[in-house]
């Protein structure tokens, strides 16, 4: 298998460009944290290889040629930069065990704030933005330190079950998807939903959730509106 050759193929180049755009967009919206946290997308050829942002670059500066190709063991295969060990363990575990094509991991402020509460996660019956995630959220209730080995990434992946949104206790969140545009759209609206909840809670006024049935209905409606995700990503492409 010629990794350098595959890295330069048109389909992989497009994935690298989209992943770099998602990183720059996340920085634009204040969802990044220094040079930490990572986004990844699996190559669609069934090889188990995936693309990942490199170690040491601010998200707003990442371009397609900065993206690194790695395997499910976390070994760098192609690209000009090194990769960070916790990124390899978390992302490799989720790609390998949970079988998600796109994995976005952030410590974005409002979502992370909710992981510090006893509830550990967003209430998906509150705002309309929150309802899009109803039935999709998994909670990892145990903070287990930095992910410095493969076992921690696999533990997180197994804990996700059928969910594609994971709140990691005292840590941050993971958003997964089948396409970069769809996963990024979810990431953006997850933080907006968490922000609305934190602001509402800070008012000291009792919260007024909708019914679980209504939240499930809105979640289903949102799944049928993925054109909005594509249009949002195209708008970001024009701007960033």
What is the pTM assigned to this prediction?
0.96
| pLDDT digit string, tens, across residues 5-17 | 999 999 999 999 9
What is the C-alpha radius of gyration for the chain, rounded to an integer number of angstroms?
A: 17
CA–CA distance, 115 with 236 (Å, rounded to integer): 28
E-state strands within the chain = 38-42, 50-52, 68-70, 76-78, 102-106, 137-140, 165-168, 172-177
Phi, psi of 133 (to 5 degrees): -100, 5
* Three-point CA angle 47, 146, 191, nearest 5°: 80
| pLDDT digit string, tens, across residues 122-156 | 999 999 999 999 999 999 999 988 877 788 889 99
Q: What is the mean pLDDT of residues 203-231?
A: 96
Q: What is the mean pLDDT of residues 184-191?
A: 98
Q: What is the mean pLDDT of residues 215-225?
A: 94
CA–CA distance, 182 with 22 (Å, rounded to integer): 11
Of 89-93, 110-114, 147-151, 197-201, the one with minimum mean pLDDT is 147-151
| pLDDT digit string, tens, across residues 57-98 | 999 999 999 999 998 877 889 999 988 887 788 899 999 999
pLDDT at 73: 77
| pLDDT digit string, tens, across residues 168-184 | 999 999 999 999 999 99
pLDDT at 64: 98
pLDDT at 74: 74
% of the chain exceeding 70 in pLDDT: 100
Among residues 8, 17, 5, 104, the alpha carbon closest in space to that of 62 is found at: 17
pLDDT at 165: 98
pLDDT at 86: 75
Mean per-residue pLDDT over the chain, rounded: 95
As a residue count, the chain comes to 240
């Amino acid at each position: 298998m010629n990794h350098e050759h595959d890295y330069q193929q048109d389909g992989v180049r497009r994935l690298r460009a989209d992943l770099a755009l998602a990183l720059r967009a996340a920085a634009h919206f204040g969802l990044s944290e220094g040079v930490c946290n990572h986004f990844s997308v699996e190559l669609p050829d069934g090889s188990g290889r995936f693309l990942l942002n490199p170690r040491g670059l601010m998200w707003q500066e990442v371009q397609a040629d900065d993206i690194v190709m790695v395997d499910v063991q976390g070994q760098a295969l192609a690209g000009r930069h090194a990769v960070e060990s916790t990124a390899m363990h978390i992302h490799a575990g989720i790609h390998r065990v949970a079988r998600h094509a796109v994995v976005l991991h952030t410590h974005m402020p409002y979502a992370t704030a909710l992981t510090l509460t006893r509830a550990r996660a967003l209430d998906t019956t509150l705002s309309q933005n929150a309802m899009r995630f109803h039935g999709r959220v998994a909670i990892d209730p145990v903070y287990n330190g930095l992910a410095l080995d493969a076992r921690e990434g696999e533990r997180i992946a197994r804990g996700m079950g059928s969910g594609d949104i994971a709140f990691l206790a005292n840590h941050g969140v993971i958003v997964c998807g089948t396409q970069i545009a769809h996963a990024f759209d979810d990431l953006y609206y997850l933080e907006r939903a968490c922000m609305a909840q934190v602001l509402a809670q800070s008012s000291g006024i009792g919260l007024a959730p909708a019914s679980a049935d209504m939240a499930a209905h809105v979640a289903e409606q949102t799944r049928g509106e993925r054109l909005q995700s594509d249009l949002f990503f195209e708008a970001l492409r024009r701007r960033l």
